[in-house]
Amino acid sequence: MSRPTDLVQGTLNLLVLKMVALEPMNGFAISQRLKQVSNEVLQVTDGSLYPALHKLEQEGLIKAEWRQSENNRRARYYSLTRLGRRRLAQEREAWDRLSAAISMVIRLREA
Amino acid sequence: MRIERWFYIVPLRLRALFRRQLVETDLDDEFRDHVERQTEEYVRQGASPIEARTRALRAFGRVDLHKEAARDARGVAGIEHAVQDVTFAVRMLKKSAGFTTVAVLTLALGIGANTAIFGLAQAVMLRSMPYAHADRLVALYETDTHGALVGISKLDFQDWLRQAHSFAHIAAAGWFGATITRGTASSYVPSAQVSPELFQVLGVKPLEGSTGATTGQSVVISERYWRREFGAGHVIGQTLVVDDTGRLITGVMPAQFDYPHGVDIWIPQNMIPRVNVARTIRYWDMVADLKPGMTVDAAQREMSGVAARLAATYPTTNAGVGAKVMTLQESLIGDVKPTLLLLTGSAVLMLLLACANLANLMLVRGVARRREMAVRTALGATRSRLQRQLLTESLMLAVGGALLGLPVAVWGSAALRSLPQVRTLQFELHQSNLTLLLLAAAITMLTTVVFGMVPAVRAARVDVVTNLKEAAGRGVTSINLSGGLVAGEVAIATILCVGAALAMRSLSRLEGEQLGFDPDGVVVAQGNLTRGARGDARAPMIRRILDNVRQMPVVASAALADAPPFTNRNASTVIIEGEPSGETAHWHQALERTVSSDYFRTLRIPFKQGRDFVPADAHGEPCVVVNESFARTYLSWRAPVGAHIAQPEMDSTQWAAYNRGQVTWSTVVGVVGDVRDVELGTPPQPTVYSAYVQHPDLGYANIVARTRASPTAVASAISGSVKTVDPLADMRVADLRDYMQRAVIAPRIRTLVLAAFAALALVLASIGVYGVTSHVTAQRTAEIGIRMALGARSFQVISAVAGRIAMYSCAGLLIGITGAAVAARVIRALLYGIGPMDVAAFAGGGVVAMGIAAAAAWIPARRATRVDPGAALRSE
């Protein structure tokens, strides 16, 4: 029920990697940003972001550390590792290829 | 790339595993932080704090689910689950301690006992001999006119050597007792004259020196003798005095070289007779190695042809004499085969029984846990999680049982190996055990695990709701399976019980046998009593020792004997005056024993005719006493007392003298009753007793003494008395009853092992029957309640509950009796005094097995009738 499909999962990973690539972010910020960019696409509860984050962390793609945030609060900040940077490039390339292919297919004119 | 990845991952995994608390706190903090920020966000959008928090929580989703997913993401969930499974399994197994104990014990005994026994059987039957090319080694025999195996004579050996082409080498060995003199002490050492090829045939290299030198007076000694007498020091080239002849030690043979069995000294000797010895003196053992590609059957055909040619050439000595070729292994272990078959068969049955029992235990337990499984499924346990849980539990049982089986196997092997009948076999036991242990462990463990998984399979198949509603359910299919197992268990228990009953009855027949003498109160001093004397000084010394013992107040009478009762006796060839000479048929076989006067009185062997030896015989005519069997078999044509007989020694000079008509005849002066003093269970054989005083060269003698006090109390006094004459004397003083016990040790141990197997089988089978009946009863509690409430009598309830079990048990009994009848035929050689279809044993074994099964079914069935109908009805 709360298990995202493989496509969505893969997309989620790509999105998360992309976001933390811009700057180190905490979970809440990532989830807010995700909602902003794709509220309609990702029909998942806020909490299901965390297993995905932990999975990426366990794979060594992102790393986490506790940091002082605004108004003196501790939060867990995720940032991209070198491994993650490489993976992001790969995923992006794959995504580009896939979306290009799909775009081409759906733009085919019916004969 | 790979390494870099590990650089991130390893610390994280370690942290997840070992700083679990910290990781969990982190997760909590992170979640809380998220919800707090979301709440603030909503508040900022204008919601009330309470409403904001509710919305934030709702948006977050199920906290426990996300936590679980995050834990899974850590990649150590497998390990964590395993730890949980093990902890839970331990708790469950502890909770049902009875079940656990029984299952683990079943496993341990099934694995351990079987490994020990299989190991022995395999080592002896399949790979017994530590010789190179053991599969090509054969033993050769001549067969007498009755078809019995006998040794070969030197002359026939020469002809065989010339005519036989099936063998690469042929060797002969002749056992004899040698007197070894070292310094002032002399000792009696089992020895063999061997043809030099023996070492090549058996393919064993000497430990020290060589076996090659055949010229001159050489001798090869055993490793055992080398260590005992020379402290494993330098011996090659030293002189050893064997039967007053100095011989050079040329080699030391390793312990594995044990042919002929128990020999410490080998005297290599070319087998060319110096003078014309008798073709009829047949006592040499022969071994040969088949040429590559040659079979035993082909060799047998060739040797039969050779024997037939010899019979045609030498009709007076070789008519009716055949040849027999068999594998050396068969010749060495032939008579233990039935014993091993028996042990192996019992072990296989035990393994089957253990497996059946484990299967049954796991099935019954599985059905009892259906509700638990249903509850856990309802609470969200996945199918694979349940399966893993059950697998862990079964595996823990299996591993626990197997671990306990290891010491049982080690101890069992050691115990079996120390049995005297096993010790005399030549084999290596250690290597094969591991494979066997693994095999037995694998079979029983597999059974445990497979049947342990049944509930998980069921849980997957059966709808949760139905299961919860029906609670224990009906489970009829499992009853059919269990019923089959019950029948099998009862059958196996019956077979083993009948087997044990047969063995016990054989043993009691054997022990109740008429000995023909009175062993009670007799002490035997056996050993080297005249160790301090040499050569001719030995005979006077043994006389003085005997006189000393006779003068002891506690000794009623004492005598000398070359071998005490129940120790091996030599067979010799006897000829009788008045019978046609020179023909094979008139060379009689008789056991030979040399005793002093008073021997018969001391053992209370009755005289049927004639007289005992007297001191005057020392200077009189040669005389002998024979037993009734001898008189009946060989002297029935005349009055035995006064007959003249001769026992030509196995040497050429006497044979030559006999041929010239110069044989030394002895007069039969007495006939004594038959005694069973060789082996219990073999009938008395014709025996000739020679007079000790007429054989002063026999320096070695043992003392038998009838005492007025208990033999154990007198033992040290007798030992002391001997030592006043010969301080160097080396002896063992024991009750004659001890020797008797040793004579029946093989059947005794067989009986013991079978009885132990039967007892174990009964325990296992009764557990099986009890388990199934309890289970059936538990399933039908409600039904029983209704019946009782409607006025059923307890008898009716019991028959309703136990009726099917009884049916299965009866079927098992029938199968078991049939199986036992087949088994008894196979091992009939081990029975004594009863036939393989002994009614008492079958009835006894069957009744015991059935009685135990009935009791095991009765207890739970009876308990069912005590059920309070109200409680039973409410129980579902």
Instruction: Please report residues of B whose CB lies closer than 8 A to that of A76.
Output: 26, 29-30, 33
| Band (B480; pLDDT cuts 50, 70, 90) | low
Nearest CA-CA partner of B279 in B161, B156, B175: B156
Contact B208, B238 (CB under 8 A): no
State the maximum Cα–Cα separation within chain B, in Å, rounded to a whole number: 142
CB-neighbour burial class of residue B231 (10 A; exposed 0-12, middle 13-18, buried 19+): exposed
> How much is the CA Rg of chain B, to the nearest whole Å?
39
Q: For B1, name the nearest residue in chain A, comparing CA atoms only.
A: A83
Residue B623 has pLDDT above 90, yes or no: yes
Cβ distance B861 to B801 under 8 Å?
yes
The amino acid occupying position B729 is A
- In this prediction, residue B817 carries a pLDDT of 92
Statement: residue B842 has pLDDT above 60: yes
Exposure string of B710-742, with b = 16+ CB inside 10 Å and e = fewer, is: ebeebbebbbebbbebbeebebebbbbebbbee
> CB B63 to CB A75 under 8 A?
no
Q: Are A27 and B72 inside 8 Å of each other by CB? A: no
Q: Which residues of A touch B61 (CB under 8 A)?
A: 2, 44-48
The better pLDDT of the pair B315, B325 is held by: B325
pLDDT at B16 over 90: no
Q: Is B669 in contact with B688 (CB distance < 8 Å)?
A: no
- Tell me the DSSP string of B178-192: EEEEETTEEEEEEEE
Q: How far apart are CA B70 and CA B73, in angstroms?
A: 5
Hey, what amino acid is at B238? Q
B73: which chain A residues are within 8 Å (Cβ-Cβ)?
51-52, 54-55, 57-58
Task: For residue B10, list chain A residues with Cβ-Cβ distance below 8 A.
Answer: none
Supply the pLDDT for residue B474. Answer: 47
Res B238 pLDDT > 50: yes
CA distance B284 to B154: 7
**Residue of B31, B34, B42 for testing the chain A interface, max A β-carbons within 10 Å:** B34
* Distance of residue B387 Cα from the nearest chain A Cα, in angstroms: 23
B4 to A26: CB separation less than 8 angstroms, yes or no: no
This model of the complex carries an ipTM of: 0.82
Looking at A10-24, B441-455, B458-472, B775-789, which range is the least confident one?
Answer: B458-472
Arithmetic mean of pLDDT, B346-357: 82
CB contact under 8 A, A58 and B63: no
**pLDDT band at residue B301, thresholds of 50, 70 and 90?**
very high
Give the nearest chain A residue to B68 (CA atoms).
A51
Residue ranges per domain, chain B?
2-74, 145-320, 337-511+745-874, 522-743
Q: Which of B41, B61, B70 lies at the smallest CB-CB distance from A45?
A: B61
CB contact under 8 A, B5 and A83: yes
CB contact under 8 A, B63 and A60: no
Higher-confidence position of B162 and B331: B162
Residue A60 has pLDDT above 50, yes or no: yes
Cβ pair B73:A82 closer than 8 A:
no
**Best residue in A46, A48, A56, A79 for a mutation probing chain B (most B CBs within 10 Å):** A46
Cα A101 from chain centre: 22
Residue of B152, B139, B552, B133 whose CA lies nearest to B322: B152
Section B176-205 average pLDDT: 80
Q: What is the DSSP code string of B775-804? A: HHHHHTHHHHHHHHHTT--HHHHHHHHHHH
B70 neighbourhood in chain A, CB within 8 Å: 50-51, 54
Q: Do A27 and B26 touch (CB under 8 A)?
A: no
Kindly report the nearest CA distance between residue B456 and chain A, in angstroms.
24
The Cα–Cα gap between B282 and B269 comes to 17
pLDDT of amino acid A28 = 86
Chain B residues closer than 8 Å to A60 by CB: 4-5, 7-9, 12
- Among the listed ranges B18-32, B117-131, B524-538, B628-642, which one has the minimum average pLDDT value? B117-131
Q: What confidence score (pLDDT) does residue B62 get?
A: 81
Chain A residues with CB-CB distance to B45 below 8 A: none
Contact check, Cβ <8 Å, B33/A47? no
Phi, psi of B560 (to 5 degrees): -105, 150
pLDDT tens by residue, B98-141: 778 878 887 887 788 777 776 766 665 554 566 777 778 888 98
Q: Which residues of B touch A48 (CB under 8 A)?
A: 61, 66, 69
Say what the pLDDT of residue A1 is: 37
Residues with Cβ within 8 Å of A6's Cβ and at least 6 positions away in sequence, in order, are: none
Sort out which chain B residues have CB atoms less than 8 A from A35's CB and list them.
Answer: none
Q: Which one has a higher pLDDT value, B288 or B327?
A: B288
Q: Would you state the pLDDT for residue B624?
A: 94
Asked if residue B778 lies in contact with residue B876, where contact means CB atoms within 8 angstroms, the answer is: no
Chain B: give the shortest CA distance to residue A73, in Å.
Answer: 9
Q: Do B27 and A63 touch (CB under 8 A)?
A: no
How far apart, in whole angstroms, are the C-alpha atoms of residue B33 and residue B38?
9
Q: Quote the pLDDT of residue B315.
A: 78
The span from the CA of A46 to the CA of A33, in Å, is 11
**pLDDT above 90: residue B599:** yes
Residue B470 has pLDDT above 60, yes or no: no
DSSP code string of B820-843: HHHHHHHTGGG--SS-TT-HHHHH
Instruction: Please report the domains of chain A, with CATH numbers, ordered by start residue.
Output: 6-106 (1.10.10.10)
B235, amino acid identity:
V
Task: Specify the pLDDT at position B147.
Answer: 67
Does the pTM surpass 0.80? The reply is no
